[in-house]
Structure 1
Amino acid sequence: MPRTLEARHDRFALHTPFRIARGAKTAANVVTVTIAQDGHVGRGEGVPYPRYGESVASALDEIAHVRDAIEGGADREELLGLLQPGAGRNAIDCALWDLEAKRSGRAVATMIDGPDLTSMASALTVVIDTPAEMARAAALIATAPLIKVKVDHADPAAQLRAVRAVAHNATMIVDPNESWDRTLLEAMQPLLVELRVALLEQPVPASVDAWLADFSPAVPICADESVHTADDLDRVAARYQCVNVKLDKAGGLTAALALAHGARARGLGVMTGCMVSSSLSIAPALHVAMLSDFVDLDGPLWLAEDRVGGVTDVGGILSPPPPGFWGTP
């Protein structure tokens, strides 16, 4: 039977504003793709990101552009040549993985010769606010094993001290979202060590990060905005010690796995991240997370209401969705 592809815009309200250095959001706007064939339906989700010049409209246009090819039988490898990396390609790629799992009766973990999904520590995020408010937010998750702290350039020292004062034992990731410059990054090095920060994520703008090749950081620096696909790795490996793999940046699970394996081959650490999204974005990312040193997949935890049957999190331990949600027969 022929395939049919449908794509739509879904909006998920957040229960709390998600504030980072470049702004705040109160809803997750996603693109949902369904591909049906032989009575089976595969689903995928992409989150268009304005930082990369994307919108819901542009992602839907991209998907419409390749609809005939996908409905005609184009597979995941062919998709890599049909669309550029981004949210639109991610949604289609993940829907194709899910469809194959449903039609073949084989889980995605089996298809990629990867480990079965298990519960894992995943970062809980403290977003930007006053130091006092950030301390209050951190106190609510202080027993979590891994906390990610969003900061900006205004007073990151006070923000970080406030969080560490209440979250004494958590492993800490710090994410300035490109808001620092060289002077601030250099000045923050002793404090990052003092506060036992395990990873510093994309402190400076991706467009001006070349000088990091000659910088010796006190704690490892992870590329986020600076790395999208495996094609970026040779450049990034000279500047960073770790890469943040996100399916929306890579343009799907297919390309994300290639990025993760390529990073490992170059001796880089691997982090799996996400946009603020529903569990439909997180389920495929879990397969990359199983290969990662750090996992940051709390996007659905910010939603007022997630998709039914999604991931669950208890105290910073993230558990996969039940069979049938995504990527399993």
Structure 2
Amino acid sequence: MDKKDLRIIFMGTPEFAVESLRTLVETGYNVVAVVTQPDKPVGRHQDRLQPSAVKEYALSKGLPVLQPVKMKDPAFVETLRSYNADLQVVVAFRMLPEVVWAMPRYGTFNVHAALLPQYRGAAPINWAVINGETMTGVTTFFLDKDIDTGRIILQKEFPIPDDADVEYVYDGLMKLGAEAAKETIDKLIAGDGHIDSKAQVVDADTELHTAPKIFKDTCRIDWSRNGKSIYDFVRGLSPYPGAWTEMKATDGGKDYTVKIFKTVKTDKPSNGEPGTIVVVKNHLLVNTANNLLEITLLQLSGKKRMETSAFLNGFHAIENYRFE
């Protein structure tokens, strides 16, 4: 089988998926159509429609684009069927009904940004960093009726440095995911439609970590946790969506919401209640359950992101505040 004979439909929405689509298109694979989310209303009055990153790339290459509101819509299903695809490739998209994922003769595989069965769910990159993992990766697997439980085709590892934030891991996995997608298809072609896969096995003594969708409340910092845990939490949400905390005035003054994007671990033991602030020269430190944690990059609501030194120069009476 030649790669030009294999008819592929690609499904994805964000920038993360574009790298995989670009790799397939620009290395000669036969992508016959692209499925992505409907354009999203944006702007102050939600009066402007923003196409997805995948749609923008697909249109730039002259690829047909389908944007169903409902994946089970009969008109969409029939249109999808009309492309007579041999394979569907899914990267950072939504859950598919069986009528869609079972349609191609060689099935549908997904590129997931974690080493399954660990970190099944919508936000695997964030949660791997939040949990202090030193290794993550990507998995390609065949879709089935449950979320992220299908048969594994291949996996590629990606180390997480201790000072890495989500942006670093996201960029690395985006490129690695594209490599995995291409390699998976190559295996399928080499096997003339057959590809080895294995069931996901979870040992009884293995702790499974999940990766649920992240909401605003998920991002609030709990200062009663230890310093390392908070350090990982902050970098696991930086630069987006951003860990946050309330900066409460202890003297009846104005309270603020603060996003924190970067911290530095210290070996200095805490000397006060969790959340209390300590300023040493031009350094902003916060008490945690065990050690002082230094904040080096933050943003007051309504203000621009800034280094802590600039923040302290412009914000007076910081000693009258604590984080909650």
Q: Same fold (TM over 0.5)?
A: no
TM-score (norm 2): 0.25
Q: Which has the higher strand share?
A: 2
Q: Which has the higher helix share?
A: 1
Larger radius of gyration: 2
